[in-house]
Structure 1
């Protein structure tokens, strides 16, 4: 039996250490109740796919049922936090029974790609998605996108700032709501580290905290704070606002959205994505499943049910007034590099953003 290399042991230890921290720090609201349902897989059943899903069961189960019907492959699912599942896949290595990893964010996929645990996807599948939203090495592909935005109260704010760097100015002291333990905020900070370096990001975090922002557990109450006049700005993902509008009606929602400009880290577009596990016994069926997730049916599901951006070429969102994805002045970043979340969590603790 081949012995694990020192680099692999380090990677497993690092991600295993990160997983409970991620669980403690929370995840995107829509993926926060992942559940722990586990189903064993009998490889003798043939075309049965075991999916490790970092997206919660309530959200993704209906789509996986559609996948079964569309592909003719039985699907069994293990649900959990994306970082925890990535750690589990690294521990299992070549002995894993998993065929497909459906992740809430690009960082967990990047961690597996870095350690060679994802198979190369067919070029035809990769070509369905813009290069910005897939791995440079072809090991994973995004299936839905979420943009970072600044929610603002137009009753108090004439124009929201174009950069998150403006949020450290005295004029915004005590007026900005955010969810520091939420995975989407932490991915944004990781993106800032990749784009601007650790020193600049550390300074921003210290200055931002010194400006007395309002702390919330999740994005939903942070948005509610703006909507109810308790805060003037909030750092969230775009879909929280669109979900609120869909539920309550545009005339009942006071808050508005502003997209940062000029490639600001506050305009990061992250993805939920999928990768085929290397050495899967059902690699052909898993690749077929990837193509289904990039089909018009699945992409429309993400658009309609979660208000996220469809990423496959030729599929447009049905969400009213949602700006086209290519109109967002997002930063140019390799999303695989968002895998360095452990370093981000250490920096958040160092600066007092999280305890």
Structure 2
């Protein structure tokens, strides 16, 4: 029987140091550098983003450039664990993650190369690696989505810490197997320490659980759940799938304020394995992902925040600059292994 996603990720992450070292000892750097410089018309991409969301954009890239993208889809934590296991022997050229934590874990192991400075400079420093090894593609805010028929706006909590109170026990759904939840828990650890984060997790043991964010929003729309912690864009995505205006779909969005960790603004982002960034095919795909067409696609189709200047944010949502997330450096979200272990120890996965 396959292990649950977090257990599989943890098993892979735990072997990272040994396997990365072994791979480095057995790699042929001269051959890999030659391949990267010449390009072969194909880019191997490990994607932690959903195929339905990312594949149409990659198909547009291939049609425009003639460069094939060999995509292998995973959960972001699983992809990070696999890259750490493969080390420098990995066939991947790029790692596209749904959160900064998974990128940070791979970068921390020394597997990501430095990206071109011009590319990095398209994105504000808050949304890219401090060492230049990954760059954000989209912004995504954590929010509380709720059913206005069951919860009055005046009852909404001021902080995500309030959700462990008796008033909210068992009422707010979570997706502990999801990478965005794991990044949020890591943010709790960074802000308040491991003890406080572990206590919060333990106090959420009675929370309804779903495997992913989407089902949480769908079940709130159906009246089967009162509320849930998800990323901001899921209400818009599910409303679009249902063919209705978000205002008529049902679930409402509550944005935490005042720097609350429940309002973490994370990124989806991308990093290049080793010297793959010098491959002209890889460089062309990176350029495409941080150009107007792709950034507009993200804003209009996946309802995320574009991160380059000159592209409007998703309609009907607060501007990225107006979000009041915590002052947490996304580079500090790289301890994925400990977070996954803490979630398991709390009995949430």
CA deviation vs aligned residue, 1:5-54 (integer Å, no higher than 9, x gap): xxxxxxxxx9671469xxxxxxxxxxxxxxxxxxxx99987343222222
Distance 2:195 2:123 in 1: 33
- From 337, 341, 344, the equivalent of 1:342 is 337
**Following TM superposition, by how much is the alpha carbon of 1:324 offset from its aligned partner in structure 2, in angstroms?**
0.7
1:174 aligns with 2:150: no
SS of residue matched to 1:215: coil
The answer (yes or no) to whether the contact 1:162–1:259 under 8 Å persists in 2 is no
- From 243, 251, 257, the equivalent of 1:255 is 251
The answer (yes or no) to whether the contact 2:48–2:74 under 8 Å persists in 1 is yes
1:194 aligns with 2:190: yes
Which 5+ residue runs of structure 1 have no aligned equivalent? Answer: 1-13, 21-40
Equivalenced residue count is 318
Distance 2:148 2:88 in 1: 54
SS of residue matched to 1:55: coil
**Following TM superposition, by how much is the alpha carbon of 1:92 offset from its aligned partner in structure 2, in angstroms?**
3.7
In structure 2, the CA distance between the partners of 1:133 and 1:139, relative to structure 1 (3 Å rule), is same
In structure 2, the CA distance between the partners of 1:279 and 1:180, relative to structure 1 (3 Å rule), is closer
- From 307, 311, 317, the equivalent of 1:311 is 307
In structure 2, the CA distance between the partners of 1:153 and 1:109, relative to structure 1 (3 Å rule), is same
Distance 1:44 1:137 in 2: 26
In structure 2, the CA distance between the partners of 1:80 and 1:235, relative to structure 1 (3 Å rule), is closer
- From 317, 320, 334, the equivalent of 1:325 is 320
Which 5+ residue runs of structure 2 have no aligned equivalent? Answer: 1-7, 15-34
Match of 1:107 in 2: 101
TM-score, with structure 1 as normaliser: 0.80
1:53 aligns with 2:47: yes
TM-score, with structure 2 as normaliser: 0.82
Distance 2:337 2:134 in 1: 21
Match of 2:297 in 1: 301
Distance 1:270 1:281 in 2: 23
In structure 2, the CA distance between the partners of 1:216 and 1:275, relative to structure 1 (3 Å rule), is closer
CA deviation vs aligned residue, 1:43-95 (integer Å, no higher than 9, x gap): 98734322222223332222112223444533333333333333333344334
CA deviation vs aligned residue, 1:118-168 (integer Å, no higher than 9, x gap): 111122111111111111111100111221101123333424212101112
CA RMSD, 1 decimal: 2.7
| Farther-moved stretch of structure 1 (261-270 vs 241-250) | 241-250
Match of 1:6 in 2: none
Match of 2:31 in 1: none
Distance 1:285 1:172 in 2: 50
